[in-house]
Amino acid sequence: MQAAESVLPRYKRLAQQLWEGIVHAGLCEGSRIPSVRTLAVQHNVSLTTAMQALRWLETQGHIEARPRSGYFVARRPEPSCPARATAWPNPPPELDAQARDHLAMVGAPCAVRLDLAVGEPSLYPVDRLSVLLRRRAYQQPDLVGAHARGAGHPDLLREIARQAMQYRCELAPDELVVTNGCIEALNLALRAVTRPGDVVAVESPTYFVLLQMLGALDLRVLPIPCRTGTGMDLDALKSALDETRINAVVTIANANNPVGSIASDADKAALVEMLQARNIPLIEDDIFGDVCYDELRPRPARAFDTSGNVLLCGGFSKSLCPGLRLGWIAAGKFSEKVRALKYTTSMATAELQQTAVAGMLSSGGFALHLRRLKSALQEQQSALRDAVLRHFPEGTELSDPRGGFVLWLKLPATSHLRVSTRPMFEQARAEGIGFAPGHLFGQGGAYDDCLRLNAGYRWTSDLEQAVERLGALARIAVAASQEQRATENTGKRL
């Protein structure tokens, strides 16, 4: 093949290379392509050769010339050319199973998104935020033109502290650091209080990104059972503390992801006291606190902290503006360490969106929006739950979330032989239906018979059909498990 290519004229080889690049990039009809001069410089050829390559592609109908504008893609390219393979939809084999399935879930498009804990854009005040962003950029051009520095814009820091007062949690603006989403806040918190090889206790099941993060930081995970209704099992945690040296604990006390539980104030206070007595830092992920369904927002565990031992992580990705990726951390006595880590990690967070969100919070618009959002989420959660009850196998266990976006399911066991949702995951994705398989939320296949569904989208007939199809796949999985069990029993008798 290489020998055949070498005898092609230089301009045809350049044209072929350019067309393969167009296909690989997925450029659609009307996309501008590099100019004659740019091609000549990039590929170290003469202007004549570059012009010949473009004209040849034009004669093939691939591109078109527009007077005084340049060259543009003339038709949508079909992926028939030998374009370079991308590794994004199919993660490299050296990654573990959890990481591969995680990347496949977030990296590939899906027709029906029951997988990621996200809400549809219409649930958020996009128009209002867009107006605030434009206004701030016009009134304060330095927010875009100047270099962002510091822990966060003072307006947003004050508003975060003011909002916390409404649920009886005292935060000082000077302990706050604005981050690029709550994920960065959790990462900074873990790095501030642990070292590689340390043991971190987490609720089980728990957010799969947290588990991936712990692995990336070379931290050892100690799972603590999470009770469906009330959160982390404090008796189990106490036993673990008596037997194991634990360096930090992570909790999602409000609307645990994935089971949706909310710990009581008494349990939150007991957890804080238990760890404070042992000088073990508590990292709290409160990203779903604002979207708990009750009229009164539940207090975070940090509200019961008197020693600065709790690092509270929050943000606006679930409650106000998913696309802006704004989070924050109130790090207590670890504030200086977190500030230093933030500087060496991402230096600062862009301030334009901070001021827009601060304006939304100060105007009272946030409170009005939250009431509407929580009502919509609760209604969608109820519709999803009813659909699962209609279509999934009898005996399927469902969570009854008190907040957040997600529903946690456990498929019925067959004579003590658990059903795996992994084949369901692969088949459903092949059909354009996404869900989060349970094994991502634990270790060693602990939740292989579970799955998480997202209720962030308004209920439609498409969602109904998707849940019906998932229910059918679940029945197939249960039947396969029963057949495997029968085969094993037959083998034993023989």
CA atoms within 13 A on the CB side of 336: 1
What architecture is the 125-365 domain classified under in CATH?
3-Layer(aba) Sandwich (3.40)
Which element (helix H / strand E) includes 64?
strand 63-66
CA distance 453 to 436: 7
Cα dihedral value 468, 473, 478, 483, nearest 10? 140
Listed in sequence order, the residues at least 6 apart from 225 whose beta carbon sits closer than 8 Å to its beta carbon are 203, 204, 232, 233, 236
Nearest CA-CA partner of 153 in 330, 350, 287: 350
**Tokens of residue 198, six digits:** 């340390």
Would you write out the chain's pLDDT as a tens digit for each of its 494 residues?
Answer: 444 444 678 888 899 889 888 887 778 888 888 888 888 888 999 999 989 999 889 888 889 988 888 898 986 555 443 334 444 445 555 456 666 676 666 666 788 999 999 999 999 999 999 999 999 999 999 999 888 888 999 999 999 999 999 999 999 999 999 999 999 999 999 999 999 999 999 999 999 999 999 999 999 999 999 988 889 999 999 999 999 999 999 999 999 999 999 999 999 999 999 999 999 999 999 999 999 999 999 999 999 999 999 999 999 999 999 999 999 999 999 999 999 999 999 999 999 999 999 999 999 889 999 999 999 999 999 999 999 999 999 999 999 999 999 999 999 986 567 789 999 999 999 999 999 999 999 998 899 999 999 999 999 999 999 999 999 999 999 988 777 665 555 555 55
Q: Please state the domain extents for the chain.
A: 2-73, 97-121+368-493, 125-365
CA distance 261 to 74: 54
Under CATH, which number does the domain 2-73 receive? Answer: 1.10.10.10
Can you identify the CATH homologous superfamily of domain 97-121+368-493?
A: Aspartate Aminotransferase, domain 1 (3.90.1150.10)
